[in-house]
């Protein structure tokens, strides 16, 4: 007698860089462990992958991590074989160039990106979106990923069985597990008016982001 293979369904709420890491690990572990069928339901009203590093933001908004330190792909149980490119490898493959001020060149001239360069967040957003598309191509046959371009309004445990029930504005869905990777909330309760005085402790790159 052949037993039917059980299918597990998990949800990832929010697919910025953290959600993308969860997706990459789920695909990689499923590929190497040979687990039963896995459905991955991804929820994010924004384009999947980039999160707050959206590709339309101004180039003066910079990353606070060096280009050579970033990758969407893990070396342990990689989702893709061979593993997908690091951010630096992607920049080199896209022929990203920097001018004499170390800004991204607009005319294709200048030097190639190096390990220690600090690059615009928008550029990382493009890399993360490309990484998401590559992960979809790397999915084994028993893993299915579905993207829902909407916001999850409520999420709570099921009463009658293990699992969770999600509600969006258009649908209801029951899943076995939930990864909540929604990032930072927009509202923090602080109301600032023109002319108010604020203090910033420290002058690192996060302080530069705040000033910008």
Which of 75-79, 107-111, 123-127 comes out lowest in average pLDDT?
A: 75-79
Q: Is the pLDDT of residue 4 over 60?
A: no
pLDDT at 1: 40
pLDDT at 2: 43
pLDDT at 101: 92
In the structure, what pLDDT confidence band is assigned to residue 44 with cuts at 50, 70 and 90?
Answer: very high
139: alpha, beta or left, given left = phi > 0 and alpha = psi -120 to 50? beta
Q: Which fold has domain 8-211?
A: FAD/NAD(P)-binding domain (3.50.50)
Is 0.95 topped by the overall pTM?
Answer: no
Chain segment 157-199, per-residue pLDDT in tens: 999 899 999 999 999 999 999 999 987 666 666 788 888 898 9
Inter-residue contact 205 to 61 (CB < 8 Å): no
Which of 36-40, 90-94, 124-128 comes out lowest in average pLDDT?
A: 36-40
pLDDT at 3: 47
Q: Which residues pair with 166 in a beta bridge?
A: 155, 173
Query: For the chain, which residues make up each domain, given as ranges?
Result: 8-211
Q: Is the pLDDT of residue 82 over 80?
A: yes
Find the mean pLDDT for residues 98-126: 94
Placement of tokens 């980039």 in the chain? 50
pLDDT at 185: 64
In the structure, what pLDDT confidence band is assigned to residue 81 with cuts at 50, 70 and 90?
Answer: confident
Dist CA 166 CA 43 (whole Å): 10
Q: Would you give the DSSP letter of residue 115?
A: T
């Amino acid at each position: 007698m052949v037993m039917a293979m059980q299918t597990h369904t998990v949800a990832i709420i929010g697919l910025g860089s953290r959600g993308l890491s969860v997706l990459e690990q789920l695909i990689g572990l499923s590929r190497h462990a040979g687990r039963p069928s896995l459905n991955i339901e991804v929820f994010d009203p924004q384009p999947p992958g980039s999160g707050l590093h959206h590709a339309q933001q101004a180039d003066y908004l910079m990353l606070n991590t060096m280009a050579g330190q970033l990758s969407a792909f893990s070396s342990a149980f990689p989702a893709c074989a061979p593993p997908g490119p690091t951010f630096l490898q992607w920049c080199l493959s896209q022929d990203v160039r920097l001018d004499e001020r170390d800004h991204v060149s607009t005319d294709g001239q200048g030097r190639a990106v190096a390990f220690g360069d600090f690059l615009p967040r928008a550029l990382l957003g493009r890399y993360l979106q490309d990484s998401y598309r590559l992960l979809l191509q790397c999915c084994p046959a028993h893993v299915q990923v579905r993207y829902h371009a909407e916001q999850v309004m409520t999420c709570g445990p099921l009463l009658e069985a293990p699992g969770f029930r999600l509600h969006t504005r258009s649908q209801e869905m029951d899943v076995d597990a939930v990864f909540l990777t929604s990032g930072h909330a927009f509202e923090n309760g602080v109301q600032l008016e023109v002319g108010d005085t604020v203090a910033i402790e420290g002058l690192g790159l996060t302080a530069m982001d705040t000033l910008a």
